[in-house]
Amino acid sequence: MKRTVLIIGAGGVAQVVAHKCAQNNDILGDLHIASRTVAKCEAIIDSVRAKGAMKIAGDFGVHTLDAMDVAAVAALIGQTGAQIVINVGSPFVNMTVLEACIQTGAACIDTAIHEDPTKVCETPPWYGNYEWKRREACKAAGVTAILGAGFDPGVVNAFARYAVDACMDTVESIDIVDINAGSHGRYFSTNFDPEINFREFTGTVYAWQGGEWTENRMFEVMREDDLPVVGRHKSYLSGHDEVHSLAARYPHADVRFWMGFSDHYINVFTVLQNLGLLSEQPVVTAEGLEVVPLKLVKAVLPDPSSLAPDYTGKTCIGDFVRGVKDGKPVEVFVYNTSDHAQAFAEVGSQGISYTAGVPPVAAAMLIASGVWDVGHMANVEDLDPKPFLALLNRIGLPTRIKDADGDRALVL
Amino acid sequence: MKRTVLIIGAGGVAQVVAHKCAQNNDILGDLHIASRTVAKCEAIIDSVRAKGAMKIAGDFGVHTLDAMDVAAVAALIGQTGAQIVINVGSPFVNMTVLEACIQTGAACIDTAIHEDPTKVCETPPWYGNYEWKRREACKAAGVTAILGAGFDPGVVNAFARYAVDACMDTVESIDIVDINAGSHGRYFSTNFDPEINFREFTGTVYAWQGGEWTENRMFEVMREDDLPVVGRHKSYLSGHDEVHSLAARYPHADVRFWMGFSDHYINVFTVLQNLGLLSEQPVVTAEGLEVVPLKLVKAVLPDPSSLAPDYTGKTCIGDFVRGVKDGKPVEVFVYNTSDHAQAFAEVGSQGISYTAGVPPVAAAMLIASGVWDVGHMANVEDLDPKPFLALLNRIGLPTRIKDADGDRALVL
C-alpha cells in the first residue's frame, strides 16, 4: 500500500530523503516537505525535478512549519493526509513531532536523539530522558515510531543486531567506528550544523563498559584501525545516541562509539573549546552586547551544504562485534563505505548527508510494505535487520562483512 | 620646575605611569588621572597610596573623561592646570588628545601610534597618516609632543640612535627584537587589550629594506637569536610603529621589527584568524544578531590586567644595530631585560605594562627639567638619547650593551 510521506526539515539530509523518496515513489506516495523556510523546501523540490528523480508521476507539496508547535504539525499531517512522517529537522523538534504523530496516528521516523537546546549531554541512557517516556503512549495509539533510523544511529544498530544474531552465540563487545576520510578543501568546516556538531563533543563521553556507564572527556581515549577502502585511521571514544539503546538490549556487552577526527579538526576544536568559544551560555562584550559564542562560531563557519560540490573521498562506518560462537572467540566487522562525489552526482549532497538520509527512506518503505509497521516505538535494533539491510543494498548503501572468512558483500 | 601631570587612560600601563609619577613627584607635581571609567582611576590611586609610592606629599585628582572629545580634554587640562599630558589611553584617542594639547599649550607624550578603529594597517609611513600632519601646528604653538615614548616604540628608538651615534660611522641595519619569555599560566591570553593586540598582526607586515617599503604576511619571516638572560628564541618579522619613524631618519639602513611568539600563540592566532574570528567587520548570526567577531574574542579572553599576580619570567627587548666603524663592520646589541614578578611587586603590574609605562614618565621628567622640552613634535630618536637612557637606568629600566667587547651595563 502506498503511503503519503511528510518530510520535516530542509537541510542537507532532507535533500537526500526527498530524492530517495522520489526515486521510490512507486512504494511511497505523494511527497510533502515542510520547514520554517519554505524557500529551502522549494529548492529541494527543484533539485528533485531537475534530476528527474521520480520513479513514477507524483505530486510534491511544500509547507511552512514551526515544528516546535505540536498543533501545527498535527494540522499539517491532517491537511496532507501524511501516513509517514520522516523527521530530519533539528533534534530540538523530535518530541513535538512525535507528539503530533501520536495524536494523528501517523508513523514517525527520526534520525537523531531529542535535545533540549539549553542542555548539553544529559544523564544516560539518553533515550530515557525523552523518547522512551512516550513508549506506552505510542503502543496505546498503535503508532509506529522508529527512533534514530539514520546511519549512526540507525544502520549501525542493525549491523550490531545482525552480527549478534547471525555470527555468535553470545556478544562481548560492540565497537562502532565512524571514519570520514573525505576532504572538503576548506580550512575548517563541520559536516552538519556546527551548533549540533560541537554540542556532541563538549560534554561527557558516555560508554557502556563492564555493565555500567563510564565517563571520559572527548579525545581522551583513542584507537587506530586499518579499515577497508579508507585505510589506517585514528578514532576517539565519543558520546553517541546508539550506545544508549544498544546498551539496554545487550547489557552484558561493552558498547562504545568511536568517531574519526583529523589532528587538524582536534586542534581547531581544542582551541575554540579552551577559549570558551563553543559555549552555549551567553557572554557580554565590552560594548554590552549579549552573544552566545557557539552561535557566532556557527556564523563564521562554512554552511555545511555548501561543501557538497567539492567534496571528494570516502566514508567508512561499521561495527566491530566480538563474541563467542561454539565456544570459540569470533570477531566480525560489518560496514559500509560511501563516496562523497558519487553522492553529490546522484542527489546533490555530500556523503555524510547521503549516509544519514537514505536509511530513514528505507525505514519508510518497510513501513509502507508492512514489514516494519509494528504499531509501537522501536529502536532500529529492536526490528529484524535483514529486510532493512537487504533494501539498503539495493538503494545505495550496500553492506559488507569482514571476518575470518574474508571481506565480502553481505548477501541477504 | 615642577609640572602638574594629567594621565589619560586607566589600564595596566596607566597603573605603572601613576606609580612612577608618584615615585618621582619631587620633579613632577600633582597628579591627575582621567578615563571613561572613574572607578578604574580610583583603583589606581588606591594602589599608589597602598604602596606609599609618593616620594613627597602631593595631591591626586580623578576625572571622568571622553578622550575622543577635544573640547573635554582641553577643558580638563585647563581645570587641572596640567602642563604635561601622558596619554596611555586607547590608540584611538591620540589625535584628539594631541589637538587639545596644541590648543592649551600642554606638553604631550603618547606611547603608540594613532589608529582609526575602522581601519587595520594603513599605508606607510604610518606616522604620516595622522601625527606628522600636525607637526607644523605643534611648532607654531611651541608645544612639545613626544610620539611613541613607551618601550617599543620609544626606548628602542633611543637604543638605535645611541648605537648609531656612539658605535659607528654609518648604519646598515636596525633589527629590533622583542621577546617576552614570561609565563602567565593561562591557556591563552594577550598581554594587553586583545583587540589592539590582534589588530597589530592581521594586516600587512611593513619593513624598510633596500631603501623601500617591503610587504610580508605575519609569521612569514622568522629569525632565531640566543639572547642574554632569556636564551634562544624565535621571533617573526612584524609591523610596528618605530619602523615608520626610524626609516625616515635612517633611509639608507634596513629597519625591521621582530616579535617573539610561542608556537602555541601562533597556533591559536592562526585558528582564530583563518576562521574569521579576528575580523573587525560584523557578521550576522542565524538569529539575526550583528556581532563583530573580534569583540566577542576579546570578551572570552582573560582581562590582561588579571594576569599580573601570577606572571613569572623575564622580557628581553633590544636593537641589533649593524654598521661600519673606521672601515670595519661592527654590530652591537643594546637591550633591557625586565622581570614580571619584580614589576608586580613594585607597581602591581606585569612586565609588559612596566616596560611600556616607565619610559613616558622618564620623558615627562626630562620635559619638566627642560632637557627634552623642545617646543615641537619629535619622535624619540630625534632627541638626545643619553639623558633618557641615563634616567631609565636609575628608575627601573637599565640598559645593557653587548658587542665585541662583551656584555655590560651601559654607563652614561
Q: Give A88 to chain B, closest Cα distance, Å.
A: 19
Residues of A with CB below 8 A from B287's CB? 295
CATH 3.40.50.720 residue ranges of chain B are 3-150+351-395
Q: Check if A409 contacts B (Cβ < 8 Å).
A: no
Residue from the list B188, B267, B295 with its beta carbon closest to the beta carbon of A286: B295
User: Considering all CA atoms of chain B, what is the largest pairwise distance in Å, rounded to the nearest integer?
Assistant: 70
Check CB contact under 8 Å for A268 and B275: yes
Half-sphere exposure of B337 (CA within 13 A, CB side): 17
Check CB contact under 8 Å for A295 and B283: no
d(Cα A34, Cα A47) in Å, to the nearest integer? 16
Q: Give B220 to chain A, closest Cα distance, Å.
A: 18
**How far is Cα of residue A374 from the mean position of the Cα atoms in its chain?**
21
Check CB contact under 8 Å for A277 and B277: yes
Residue from the list A267, A283, A296 with its beta carbon closest to the beta carbon of B293: A296
Nearest to B235 by CA among B255, B263, B260: B260
What is the arithmetic mean of pLDDT over A40-56?
94
CATH 3.30.360.10 residue ranges of chain A are 155-347+400-409
Q: At residue A14, does pLDDT exceed 90?
A: yes
Minimal-distance CA residue of chain A relative to B266: A271
Q: Check if B277 contacts A (Cβ < 8 Å).
A: yes
Residue from the list B275, B293, B299 with its beta carbon closest to the beta carbon of A286: B299
B157 with B242: CB under 8 angstroms? yes
Q: Check if A49 contacts B (Cβ < 8 Å).
A: no
| One-letter amino acid of A404 | A
Q: Check if B266 contacts A (Cβ < 8 Å).
A: no
Residue for grid cell 651595563: B409
Task: Count residue pairs from A and B with Cβ separation < 8 A.
Answer: 79
Q: Give A33 to chain B, closest Cα distance, Å.
A: 21
d(Cα B332, Cα B326) in Å, to the nearest integer? 15
d(Cα A22, Cα A53) in Å, to the nearest integer? 6
**Selected residues 91-120 of chain A with any CB under 8 Å from a CB in chain B:** none
Q: Give A241 to chain B, closest Cα distance, Å.
A: 26
Q: Check if A272 contacts B (Cβ < 8 Å).
A: yes
Residues of B with CB below 8 A from A284's CB? 299
Q: Check if A263 contacts B (Cβ < 8 Å).
A: no
Coil, strand, or helix at residue B90?
coil
CATH 3.30.360.10 residue ranges of chain B are 155-346+398-409
pLDDT per residue as tens digits for the range A49-71 = 999 989 999 889 999 999 999 99
d(Cα A353, Cα A69) in Å, to the nearest integer? 26
Residue from the list A274, A285, A300 with its beta carbon closest to the beta carbon of B277: A300
The three grid cell numbers given for residue B150, joined into one nine-digit string: 613607551
Minimal-distance CA residue of chain A relative to B293: A296
Per-run averaged pLDDT (10 residues), chain B, 412 residues: 90 95 94 96 95 90 97 98 96 96 98 84 90 97 98 98 98 98 93 82 91 95 97 96 98 98 94 94 94 96 89 97 98 98 94 96 97 97 98 98 97 92
Query: Which pLDDT value is given to residue B121?
Result: 63
Q: At residue A229, does pLDDT exceed 90?
A: yes
> CB count, 10 Å around CB of A215?
12
Minimal-distance CA residue of chain B relative to A296: B285
Point out which residues pair with B3 in neighbouring strands. B28
* E strand or H helix at B321: strand B314-325
pLDDT per residue as tens digits for the range A287-313 = 999 999 999 999 999 988 788 899 999
Q: Check if A43 contacts B (Cβ < 8 Å).
A: no
Check CB contact under 8 Å for B284 and A296: no
d(Cα B62, Cα B30) in Å, to the nearest integer? 11
Fold of A3-150+351-395: Rossmann fold (3.40.50)
Residue from the list A285, A295, A297 with its beta carbon closest to the beta carbon of B295: A285
Q: At residue A121, does pLDDT exceed 90?
A: no
**Selected residues 138-167 of chain A with any CB under 8 Å from a CB in chain B:** none
Query: Which pLDDT value is given to residue B36?
Result: 95
Pick the CATH number of B155-346+398-409 from 3.40.50.720, 3.40.50.970, 3.30.360.10, 3.40.50.300: 3.30.360.10
Place A33 in a pLDDT band, splitting at 50, 70 and 90.
very high
B81 with B61: CB under 8 angstroms? no
Query: Which pLDDT value is given to residue B33?
Result: 98
The three grid cell numbers given for residue B355, joined into one nine-digit string: 616596560
Kindly report whether the peptide bond that precedes residue A385 is cis, defined as omega within 30 degrees of 0: no
Tell me, what's the ipTM? 0.78
Q: Check if A366 contacts B (Cβ < 8 Å).
A: no
Mutate which: B36, B285, B294, vs A, most A CBs within 10 A: B285
Residues of A with CB below 8 A from B272's CB? 271, 275
Q: At residue A199, does pLDDT exceed 80?
A: no
CB within 8 Å of A173: residues ≥ 6 apart: A253, A254, A255, A256, A320, A321, A322, A323
Residues of B with CB below 8 A from A285's CB? 291, 295-296, 298-299
The three grid cell numbers given for residue A52, joined into one nine-digit string: 528527474
Residues of A with CB below 8 A from B267's CB? 267, 271
Coil, strand, or helix at residue A64?
strand
Query: Which pLDDT value is given to residue A301?
Result: 96
Check CB contact under 8 Å for A291 and B293: no
Helices (H), B105-191: 135-141, 155-167
B366 with B155: CB under 8 angstroms? no
d(Cα B318, Cα B336) in Å, to the nearest integer? 6
**How far is Cα of residue B134 from the mean position of the Cα atoms in its chain?**
20
Check CB contact under 8 Å for B275 and A284: no
**Selected residues 179-208 of chain A with any CB under 8 Å from a CB in chain B:** 187-188
CA distances from B138 to A272, B18, B335, B377, B396 (A): 47, 26, 32, 6, 31
Q: Considering the domain A155-347+400-409 in this protein, what is its CATH number?
A: 3.30.360.10
The three grid cell numbers given for residue A220, joined into one nine-digit string: 581522551
Q: Give B12 to chain A, closest Cα distance, Å.
A: 17
Query: Which pLDDT value is given to residue A1?
Result: 58
**How far is Cα of residue A22 from the mean position of the Cα atoms in its chain?**
20
Residues of B with CB below 8 A from A293's CB? 296, 300
Q: Check if A345 contacts B (Cβ < 8 Å).
A: no
Q: Check if B297 contacts A (Cβ < 8 Å).
A: yes
Query: Which pLDDT value is given to residue A246?
Result: 98
Query: Which pLDDT value is given to residue A194?
Result: 87
Q: Give B251 to chain A, closest Cα distance, Å.
A: 40
Mutate which: A198, A275, A294, vs B, most B CBs within 10 A: A275
pLDDT per residue as tens digits for the range A374-411 = 999 999 999 999 999 999 999 999 999 999 999 999 99
Nearest to A73 by CA among A52, A95, A54: A95
